[in-house]
Chains A and B, each alone.
Chain A
């Protein structure tokens, strides 16, 4: 069965710190990996990654995929209290079970 594992499960840092969140996966026919931020109810989309080694960047957030080692990282630099959220990683397959499979999430808390 497809598996997505995120680490750490919980992280507490001070404002201004840089954080790296990890997502490793095991899928048979990889299509894409997606990162989401969940603050209240609805997760909001951050990045979709399909190719190895190409960094996606949006402001202070960036992400990269390694399809050989089967993992992705999400970096947040100069963290702000508004970055406090649960960060979710999900993987989709090309064929077979095509549903998005989510990891358990990383709860990030930024203290002022």
Chain B
């Protein structure tokens, strides 16, 4: 099974400042077709998860351009350019290269 490891577990950010979350996979997520199937989800408090980023760097419909994804192989990063109050919640990466596995999550709050 592919294990997804996120860091940090918790992140406290001043509004307007950037934030960055790391996600590492135990195996390469690069598929033979040249694509990498790594998604990011945000779960706001009391809400179901919502898709933010798919295939490493593609923003889902309606997602703010303050969110960006990057990475390759086994190392991936979600960046928030300027954190806002509505960004509070837990962020999860998920791979679909082989079965489906989520990272352990990163909780973001506002200072």
Instruction: Decide whether A and B assemble into one complex.
Output: no
Where the two chains meet, the residues of B that have a C-beta atom closer than 8 Å to any C-beta of A are none
Using CB atoms and an 8 Å cutoff, list the residues of chain A in contact with chain B.
Answer: none
